[in-house]
Structure formats: C-alpha cells, structure tokens
Structure 1
Amino acid sequence: MMKKFGFTLAEVLITLGIVGVIAAMTIPTFVTNSQNKANAAKLASTISNIENAFGIMMVQEGANTLDETEFYQYLTNKDLEKAESTFGEYLKLQGNGTVTNFYGEDKPFKYIGYSAVPENITLSESIDVYQTKNGALLMFADGFNEITEDVAKKYGISVTKQYFLLRIDVNGKENPNIIGRDVFVFALCEDGALYPFGGKTSSVIQTGNPTSRHYKNSSGSYACIDGKFSAGCTARLIENNFVVDY
C-alpha cells in the first residue's frame, strides 16, 4: 500500500499565517516605494513643463527677466483669471483658486516624519493655486529675496532674485500630502527657472550663505531628516536623479 503524504490542516494554517505576516510586512513598503517612484517621475515632468513654459513665454514677450512678463504682473496683482489665461498659453491648466478651495483647509501638509506642519507656515489664502491638466497643483506664494551681484559671483550662482516660493503637489489633493513625498518646494527666480529648496542656489538667495539652508546641513532647518523642514528633500531628490533615498 502506498503512503499518502500531505499537509495537515494545522500545518496549512501555520503556513498561511506566516505568508500573511510576511505580506503585511512587505506590501506596505512595496506600495510606498511605488508611490515614491511615481511621484518623483511626475515631479521631473512637471518641472520640465513649467521651466519650458516660462522660457517660451519670456522669448515670445521679449522679456529678459520673469518680472517683465504679463504673467508676473497678473500674479503679483492677484488677478488669477488673467494669470491663468496667460500662463495657460504655455502650460495646460484646468483651474485656479485658493488653498482651501482645493484642499478644504489651510494647513494640509505634513513633514516627512508625519508631524503636522506648524502654525507659522499655515498656507495663506493669498497663495494663488493653479491646477495642471495632469492634476498637479502649483502654489505661488510671495517670497521675494534678493542678493547682490557680488554675492552671486562669490558663490557661483547665476541669479540674484527670488520672485516667488512655488510649492508643487504632484498628485493634487490626494494623499499623502507630505512635504518631500508628493509636495516639493522651489524658489522661482528671475530667469524663470525653479531652484529646489535645500539646494545651494536657494540657500544663497534666501540667506546669503550656501550651507545654512542646504539639505546636507544636518543642524540646519532644511535638513532632509525627521524633525526638520523637509522641503530640503526637494534638492536631495533632484541631485539624486529623482531617486528617493530618504
């Protein structure tokens, strides 16, 4: 008589339990990694589209600097409709409004460590928000900073003026709404280019010092670590070729 080999019910249940535990441990990490890759790819595409739009805009209008464009004038005068109409000639948009219009609140973001953003950077209703056709939200906030030509030359940067602080939420109001994950922060300067927070150029323009707000400065407020203002992760991500390593 041949013996039949098989698993007992207890063995099957134990095996399924082990598989379930492993899945519970690995699936969230897999999902997070997939989201990070998707958001990083969206950011790269959005940056390229915005900078191309401003570049073409400046050429078409014969503007040497961004503040010579119609869009800049409309934006500074808080004329959202005209700003959207003008910007929309160069970048496909599908609406404008305020932070609460899109998020339903004025403090929608968190830091990398998932701690709530403090009151002092609650997003003002004066911030102009535009949504692109691919769903990204572009938040333009007043944030003028200026350095001298000598300071720019000293640190080898090509710009001297930051006109706006630009937050980009690559997937719109969808979660996680975490700065450094799906929300990234830039200095929009006179050449129409975006300079990431946590990088050398934005640090110099904002403080006159290349390291004070650099993401590699672990004691600085823009270090890309838990407990810090994770907007600095924007530069870290870009310098790492849009690969999330934090």
Structure 2
Amino acid sequence: MKNKLNSRIIRGVEKACFFDTIRAGFAYTHTAPYRKFGFTLAEVLITLGIIGVVAAMTLPTLVQKYRNRVVETRLQKFYSAINQAVKMAELEYGDKKIWYEDVGGLAVDSDGNPIEGSSKIDIWFTKYLAPHIKIIKKTIESDGRPTYYFADGSALSTPDATVSRDWVFFTGNPEKCNKKYENPYGICKFIFEFYPASESADWKFLYNKGFEPAKVKWDGTKELLYSGNAWACAKETIGRAYCAALIQHNGWKIPADYPLKVDY
C-alpha cells in the first residue's frame, strides 16, 4: 500500500514539473521550475505577413531582371547569328550590296488569291540567308509577309509586305507579343534593318553593313535615341524604332533608364 502511494506522488510531481503538451501551433504550455519559450500563433502570423509583404515588393523586381537578361541575350544572339548568315551568303554570292534586293509582294491567281510560295521576301530570304541560320518553323501571311521561328523561342518577321529592308525581331512568340501589348515595340518587338546598298545620308549607319538595329536618320548621339524624333525609344512614340539601337549602344545591356519594361 505504501509503495502504491509513493508511485502516485511521483507521477503527480512529474506532471507538475515537465512539459507534456504543445498547444496553439508554436506556443508551449509550461510549469515551474522548467520554462520553454516559443512563438504564439499571432506572432507567427505577423511574421508570415511581413515575409509576404517583402516578397511582394521584391519579386516583381527579380522577375523583371530575369526578363531583361533573356531579352538582352536573345537580341545579341540574333544579331550575331543573322550577320554570320550574311557573311556566309557573301562567300557564295559575293558582296551583299550586289545580291541585296528591296523586294515585296506576292503573286495572285485569276481570282486575286495569293499563290503559295510566291512571297518575294520569302523567296529572297530563303535563297540567301535561310540556309545559314537555324529555322524551326515558317509561316507566310496572306499579303506575303514571312515569319521565321528560331529554336530559342524568338522569331523574325517583316512589318511591311512591300519592302525587305525593314525587319522586326520578336524576343518571344510573335502572337503572344502582339496580343499582350497594345504597342509592343521596344518591349518584345524590335526593329532591325538590312539596307547595305544605299549611300543616302539618312541611311549612313547601314551602308555596307549587315542587319543592324534601326538607325534611319540617326545623328549618332545617345540623346536622339531617347527623344526628339518619330523613331525615339520613348513611351509616347508609336514606332520606337531606336529601341534596339539604344540597347546595342549600351553594349547589348538594357540601360537603367530604359523607358519600357521588356518582355519575351
């Protein structure tokens, strides 16, 4: 009887002195002489709230930095690849000023419907440049404008079916780019030009060159790339033709004061 009584007393003391329950998430019940410190549920929720606010503030910046890197890489990669294709074509056909043609349009049948395979821009591009650059897909619009898709997700097209001097490079899917933005120029759509034969002062930065970011009527100053003309890389400008030139001018890095948020 005495032993049973002693056992009950010991068990009672153990209950009084040691933890045996965890309540409300991180809050521990405690009794003297031992004490554990933890977080209350309210403290945990406040901490999580702070973490959420910080994440909401920093995540958009991190996402945009990643987009910048993708756009920079694809612009520079395209510039290098297309001009390598020009050099390869010169080895086969001679100086680019000889085989360059400013062509456009396509043939139509007696009912006025476009004839497949008659896009003059595509015929020219397929002959001289396509063999030297990896194209995974090609589409032709009803007016003859071709679009060439590359393995990294970017694409090359023409903004006008009547000339082949002007080209648009998409840093991602063209359909997505045009649909997502009311004015995608300078964001996911950049203008390039191939006009090596003109000796006009307006085209002096393109004479005897390969594919270059649009620089028509550029005076060579950084200031004109930003403002003061219809081609400036600015939010209020419609065409934003100089945006690719602005990035090229900065070593193919998007400047800190670039007026738009690029995408792909």
Q: Please provide the CA RMSD for this pair.
A: 3.2
Aligned counterpart, 2:148: 130
Aligned counterpart, 2:252: 242
Provide the rounded CA distance (Å) in 1 between the counterparts of 2:56 and 2:216.
41
Q: Deviations over 1:181-225 (max 9, x none)?
A: 32211121123512323xxx4225xxxx667x9313x23233323
Provide the rounded CA distance (Å) in 2 between the counterparts of 1:82 and 1:222.
29
Percent of residue pairs identical: 25
Q: Return closer, same or farther for 1:25/1:33 CA change in 2, 3 Å cut-off.
A: same
Matching residue's letter, 1:88: A
Provide the rounded CA distance (Å) in 1 between the counterparts of 2:64 and 2:93.
43
Q: Is the CA contact (8 Å cut-off) linking 1:94 and 1:133 kept in structure 2?
A: yes
Q: Does 1:226 align with 2:244?
A: no
Q: Return closer, same or farther for 1:64/1:51 CA change in 2, 3 Å cut-off.
A: closer
Q: Describe the SS at the equivalent of 2:190.
A: strand
Shift of 1:27: 0.8
Q: Which runs of 5+ in 1 are unaligned?
A: 102-124, 145-161
Aligned counterpart, 1:193: 210
Provide the rounded CA distance (Å) in 1 between the counterparts of 2:84 and 2:252.
19
Q: Is the CA contact (8 Å cut-off) linking 1:215 and 1:233 kept in structure 2?
A: yes
Q: Describe the SS at the equivalent of 1:241.
A: coil
Q: Return closer, same or farther for 1:93/1:63 CA change in 2, 3 Å cut-off.
A: same
Q: More strand per residue: 1 or 2?
A: 1
Shift of 1:49: 0.5
Aligned counterpart, 2:109: none
TM-score relative to the length of structure 2: 0.62
Alignment of 1:50-129 (within 5 A): 50-65=82-97, 68=99, 72=101, 78-79=119-120, 82-83=123-124, 85-86=126-127, 87-98=129-140, 125-129=143-147
Q: Does 1:29 align with 2:39?
A: no
* 1:179 paired residue among 168, 180, 185: 185
Q: Return closer, same or farther for 1:181/1:64 CA change in 2, 3 Å cut-off.
A: closer
Shift of 1:133: 3.4
Q: Is the CA contact (8 Å cut-off) linking 1:54 and 1:192 kept in structure 2?
A: no
Q: Does 1:203 align with 2:217?
A: yes
Matching residue's letter, 2:79: I
Larger Cα Rg: Structure 1 or Structure 2?
A: 2
Q: Describe the SS at the equivalent of 1:42.
A: helix
Alignment of 1:156-175 (within 5 A): 164-173=165-174, 174-175=176-177
Q: Is the CA contact (8 Å cut-off) linking 1:164 and 1:189 kept in structure 2?
A: yes
Q: Describe the SS at the equivalent of 1:130.
A: strand
Q: Is the CA contact (8 Å cut-off) linking 2:90 and 2:96 kept in structure 1?
A: yes
Provide the rounded CA distance (Å) in 2 between the counterparts of 1:128 and 1:89.
16
Provide the rounded CA distance (Å) in 2 between the counterparts of 1:210 and 1:240.
13
Q: Is the CA contact (8 Å cut-off) linking 1:224 and 1:236 kept in structure 2?
A: yes
Provide the rounded CA distance (Å) in 2 between the counterparts of 1:36 and 1:27.
14
Matching residue's letter, 1:194: F
Matching residue's letter, 2:242: G
Q: Which runs of 5+ in 2 are unaligned?
A: 1-32, 107-118, 197-207, 259-264
More contact order relative to length (CA 8 Å, sep ≥ 6) = 1
Shift of 1:89: 1.4
Matching residue's letter, 2:99: E
Q: Describe the SS at the equivalent of 2:77.
A: helix
